Structure formats: C-alpha cells, structure tokens
Amino acid sequence: MPFFTVDGQALHYLDQGTGPAVLLAGSYLWDQTMWAPQIAALSAHYRVIALDLWGHGESGQLPEGTTSLDDIARQAQALLDHLNIDQVTLVGLSVGGMWGARLALSASERINGLVLMDTYLGVEPEPTRQYYFSLFKQIETTGEISAQLLDIVVPIFFRPGIDPQSALYQDFRAKLAAYSAEQLRESIVPMGRITFGRDDVLPRLGELNAATTLVLCGDQDKPRPPSEAREMAGLIGCPWMLVPEAGHISNLENPGFVTEALLAFLSERNR
C-alpha cells in the first residue's frame, strides 16, 4: 500500500476499487485494517481510501508542528489533492469523525456526504479529559501500555457483553501491548492529547449539510454514548441511527448492519 509525504512524514493509506471516492477515517489506537469488512464490500462499487493515523499502522510519527485536529484535517485534504480526488464521501469513526467534520467545515465543496460514527464534536467532558490525560502521563512515563492499563483501556472500545477471549478483543489488546516506547511517546500519547483536548465545534454543526449527513452510534458505546449522537444530529438536523449490539468500534462489532447502512447512504449520494 502506498505512502504520501506530508509535513515531513510518510502517511500510509489504502486505495482500493474504482468509482466515486469514499474516505474512511478510523478510531484512535486503531489502524486502517479496522475497516476490513467495509473495505471489502464498498470497494466493489467505490474507490475506497483509508489512512493510518500518525504513529498507527505503518504511518510515520506525528509531524512536528501538528497540534490540533485541524492539522489532521489539513493533512487529509493534502492526500485528497495528491490523489486528484475533488469530492469524497467521508466516513469518520471516533477521532476520524472529529477531524472529518472539521474537514467538512473547512472544505465543504470537497465533501459530498458525511457519516459521523461513534464520535463527538463538543469538548471532552472535563472529568473524562483529566482521566485520559492521567493515563497518557502513565504511558509516557513508563514507555508502555502495561497489563494493568490494558485491562482498563481495551474494554472501553467494546460493548459490555463482548467475549474477552474473542479474536477481536485479543488482537486489539496484543496490538496495544506491542507499541514501542518511541511510538507511544512521539505519536500515540501526543495524538491522544490532541484528540481529548480538542476544541468545541458544536456551535458550527448547523453549517454542515443536513441532507448529506448521517450520524451512527453503537447502542452500547460507552465513551461516546447515544445521547451525544442524538445531540449532534439535532444540531445538524440530520438523521441518526443506533447500531444494535455494538460498542465504540461499531463497524467491527456489527459489521453487517454498518456496511448495509453505508451502502444505502452511498447509493443515495451517488445516484
């Protein structure tokens, strides 16, 4: 899979299929492989682009001077320019929705559809922000995500009833445990601080095109509960739906439901 150099670092991305372009923007601590079920289905009809966040997957470290989600959005727009993609439907889950919405607000002419999944465009509630920042400090100090921290962090991403021995759960846990101290200190922790220290764009949600926006949320998402999805959809004026039997990574816990919802949305956008 190819790389694109932006702000001095190599951004790794997948580019698969032909047709109208779809950009998949994933969660913090996950790489583009989290979209495997959707890539397989969507690339039969669309040109699917999926990128690795800085320090995730095969992307390089967080570029010097990257300090906000607006920077991440700008870098993604540079990738679209590089690929000669004038318009794209953007599907953003978690931090992918956070920077994806900022891209839609700053370059609305480039976005012909927007799906916000398991994400929130307001500021992080202060108690949660302080809690996550305390975890980042521990990781920064030790240079690892310890077994004790894995027991805290991994369950956050899944519905409460998931089998902790499942491949989905165990593969994610193993991936987090394998991060090097350099990756954690130079990219993962700073990217986390950017994500959970983000500014508030709720007042701007009325600028998004309600007719071409959809909000999705796992019905058992703990970090980004359905109440936040409902709030955002109300501010945008767009439809929203719950993904049954799913937590934060709803596209992997109920891939069939999410894939069908995305195919229906894309069909409407690309008649």
At 71-119, the pLDDT tens digits run 999 999 999 999 999 999 999 999 999 999 999 999 999 999 999 999 9
Q: Give tens-digit pLDDT for 42-62.
A: 999 999 999 999 999 999 999
Average pLDDT over the chain reads 97
DSSP the chain: --EEEETTEEEEEEEE--SSEEEEE--TT--GGGGHHHHHHHTTTSEEEEEPPTTSTT--PPPTT--SHHHHHHHHHHHHHHTT---EEEEEETHHHHHHHHHHHH-GGGEEEEEEES---SPPPHHHHHHHHHHHHHHHHHTS--HHHHHHHHHHTS-TT--TTSHHHHHHHHHHHT--HHHIIIIIHHHHHHHHT----GGGGGGS-GGGEEEEEETT-SSS-HHHHHHHHHHHT--EEEETT--SSHHHHSHHHHHHHHHHHHHHHT-
- Taken in order of first residue, the domains within the chain and their CATH numbers are 3-123+199-269 (3.40.50.1820)
Phi, psi (rounded to 5 degrees) for 254? -140, 70
Q: Give tens-digit pLDDT for 186-221.
A: 999 999 999 999 999 999 999 999 999 999 999 999
**Across 165-172, average pLDDT:** 98
